């Protein structure tokens, strides 16, 4: 893996770790397979499209 790609991955990881749930202000977990940020407290999954987290409740998927 190139250094540039590693830097982007690291930056992306840091960005994702800085985000919080817009409903609960709680921690989010990252689901790489589905490209979503999961809020267990709010029971919502926020999509990541083209590398951009969509942190709008109207765009989130309900989860059990």
pLDDT of residue 38: 96
Residue 62 in contact with residue 44, Cβ under 8 Å?
yes
Give the domain CATH number at 42: 2.20.25.10
**Domain of 45, in residue numbers:** 3-62
Residue 44 in contact with residue 23, Cβ under 8 Å?
yes
- Specify the number of domains making up the chain: 1
Instruction: Name the phi and psi angles at 13, rounded to 5.
Output: -60, -45
The mean pLDDT value of the chain amounts to 85
For residue range 3-27, what is the model confidence (pLDDT) as tens digits? Answer: 444 444 555 777 778 899 999 999 9
Q: What gap in Å lies between CA 47 and CA 29, rounded to an integer?
A: 12
């Amino acid at each position: 893996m190139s250094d540039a790609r590693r830097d982007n991955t690291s930056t992306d990881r840091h960005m994702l770790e800085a985000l919080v749930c817009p409903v609960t202000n709680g921690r989010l977990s990252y689901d790489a397979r589905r490209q979503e940020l999961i809020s267990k407290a709010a029971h919502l999954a926020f999509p990541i499209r083209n590398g951009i987290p969509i942190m709008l409740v109207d765009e989130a998927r309900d989860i059990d």
